[in-house]
């Protein structure tokens, strides 16, 4: 890849990717920690749902705020601040003395997490040549899988012996990385072009919903909602679902780690196809296979079927995520790119708030896991249809 031979672009991708990895590690940690917390603090399904959803509430607020601020003050400074916010809150979570305090800290961590992701993808998207842009952002997204694998390893090796507090403490490490990042990367060259003539917040928001961009905005909001709703509903509950299906806590961590490894080839294949066949192809195909895998996982009756379905779910769902992050910044001009991406991401995070709560309520009412996963099947199909009929292809186009 030409991209990987360019030292400056390679450094940016790797540097932003590590911050993305830390994001994923923190989000992934929650899914494992709640399974352990449920035992330590005697939490019911509804409380587990609240704890996982409060993180997404913070992410929704953070995505909108950071997206808006990044179009005003630059991508790099907002990226650094969001990284510091979530790592500090994650480290402090290790000292939480009760459910309420932990929820507050997870909201703050979510604010930083949600803000960092759209800003990092916008920065990378604006810093790459058109022929490599989509692939670069999908590769950036692949660091998410590395973070989840790290969280699964921490869960498997740390939580059973040292407890969930030590796991949260590890989440403070990114604060040190932010100090390096401050010197290692430059702001987007595209942002430098508009820095001298900033556009007002009101103008940016009205432009996002203007006739020229309204179709793309509607499509993106549907896409983000359906993908985030299904992802957080399924993946934050995976360890707990495995326990509900009869596996021990340690065994469920082991299986989820194996499933998580399948995310990496999902990203890498999406990174290849996105520049060969286009953004819409990757999103529609990978989402359709995600839907089929969700239905299969929810109705799996044997250990082998459960593992195979879980691996396919990880592979296709995370490939779709990569395509979504690559596609989103390309649909807006530089003056409103971060705002448009941030607002779409923020709306999507509402799905991340609703889904874990809904699963908690449904599990509490003894609704079958198979029926719950069929809900995700339908949701993902809606997202795929939105891209198919409302989306426009941006492969190879220059950013405005």
CA 370 to chain centre: 24
Q: Which residue would you say has higher pLDDT here, 198 or 131?
A: 131
pLDDT at 4: 56
pLDDT in tens, 64-109: 999 899 888 888 889 889 888 988 898 898 888 888 898 999 899 8
Nearest to 169 by CA among 29, 55, 23: 29
Mean pLDDT to the nearest integer, 356-383: 86
Nearest to 12 by CA among 144, 175, 172, 121: 121
Please give the DSSP secondary-structure letter assigned to residue 329: G
Q: Does the pLDDT at position 1 exceed 50?
A: no
Q: Are 335 and 204 in contact (CB under 8 A)?
A: yes
Q: In sequence order, what are the residues at sequence separation of 6 or more whose Cβ sits closer than 8 angstroms to the Cβ of residue 169? A: 91, 94
Q: Which residue would you say has higher pLDDT here, 148 or 138?
A: 138
Q: Which residue would you say has higher pLDDT here, 31 or 2?
A: 31
Share of the chain above pLDDT 90, in %: 25
The per-residue b/e assignment along 194-216, b for 16 or more CB within 10 angstroms, e otherwise, is beeeebeeeebeebbeeeebeeb
How high is the mean pLDDT of the chain? 84
Options 3.40.50.1370, 3.40.50.300, 1.20.1250.20, 3.40.640.10; CATH for 2-180+200-390 is 1.20.1250.20
pLDDT at 247: 64
Q: Are 270 and 323 in contact (CB under 8 A)?
A: yes
pLDDT in tens, 317-341: 989 998 998 899 899 998 899 899 9
CA gap 391, 255 in Å, rounded = 36
Mean pLDDT to the nearest integer, 140-155: 82
Domain ranges (residues) in the chain: 2-180+200-390
Q: Which residue would you say has higher pLDDT here, 238 or 9?
A: 9
pLDDT at 320: 93
pLDDT in tens, 246-299: 666 556 666 667 777 888 898 889 988 998 899 999 999 999 999 999 999 888
Neighbours of 289 (CB within 10 A): 20
> pTM of the full predicted structure?
0.83
The per-residue b/e assignment along 318-344, b for 16 or more CB within 10 angstroms, e otherwise, is bbbbbbbbbbbbbbbebbbbbbbbbbb
């Amino acid at each position: 890849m030409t991209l990987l031979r360019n030292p400056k672009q390679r450094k940016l991708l790797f540097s932003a990717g590590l911050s993305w990895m830390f994001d994923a590690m923190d989000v992934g940690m929650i899914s494992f920690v709640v399974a352990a917390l449920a035992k330590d603090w005697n939490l019911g399904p509804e409380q587990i749902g609240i704890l996982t959803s409060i993180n997404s509430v913070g992410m929704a607020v953070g995505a909108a705020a950071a997206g808006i601020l990044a179009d005003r003050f630059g991508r790099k400074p907002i990226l650094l601040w969001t990284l510091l916010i979530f790592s500090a809150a994650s480290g402090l979570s290790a000292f939480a003395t009760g459910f309420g305090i932990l929820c507050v800290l997870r909201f703050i961590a979510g604010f930083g997490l949600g803000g960092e992701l759209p800003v990092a993808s916008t920065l990378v998207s604006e810093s790459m040549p058109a022929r490599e842009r989509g692939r670069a952002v999908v590769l950036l997204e692949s660091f998410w899988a590395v973070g989840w694998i790290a969280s699964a390893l921490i869960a498997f090796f740390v939580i059973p012996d040292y407890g969930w507090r030590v796991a949260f403490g590890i989440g403070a490490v990114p604060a040190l990385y932010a100090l390096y990042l401050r010197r290692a990367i430059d702001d987007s060259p595209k942002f430098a072009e508009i820095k001298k003539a900033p556009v007002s917040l009101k103008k940016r928001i009205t432009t996002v919903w203007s006739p020229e961009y309204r179709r793309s905005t509607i499509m993106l909001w549907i896409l983000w909602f359906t993908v985030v709703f299904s992802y957080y509903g399924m993946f934050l509950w995976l360890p707990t679902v495995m326990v509900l299906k009869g596996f021990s806590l340690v065994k469920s961590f082991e299986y989820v780690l194996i499933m998580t490894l399948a995310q990496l080839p999902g990203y890498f294949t999406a990174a290849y196809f996105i520049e060969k066949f286009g953004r819409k192809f990757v999103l529609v195909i990978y989402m359709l296979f995600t839907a089929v895998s969700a239905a299969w996982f929810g109705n799996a009756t044997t250990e082998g079927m459960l593992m195979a379905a879980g691996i396919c779910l990880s592979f296709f769902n995370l490939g779709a995520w990569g395509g979504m992050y690559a596609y989103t910044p390309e649909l807006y001009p530089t003056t409103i790119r971060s705002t448009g991406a941030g607002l779409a991401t923020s709306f999507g995070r509402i799905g991340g708030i609703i889904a874990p709560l809904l699963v908690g309520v449904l599990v509490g009412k003894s609704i079958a896991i198979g029926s719950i996963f069929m809900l995700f099947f339908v949701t993902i199909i809606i997202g795929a249809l939105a891209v198919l009929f409302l989306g426009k292809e941006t492969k190879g186009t220059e950013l405005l």
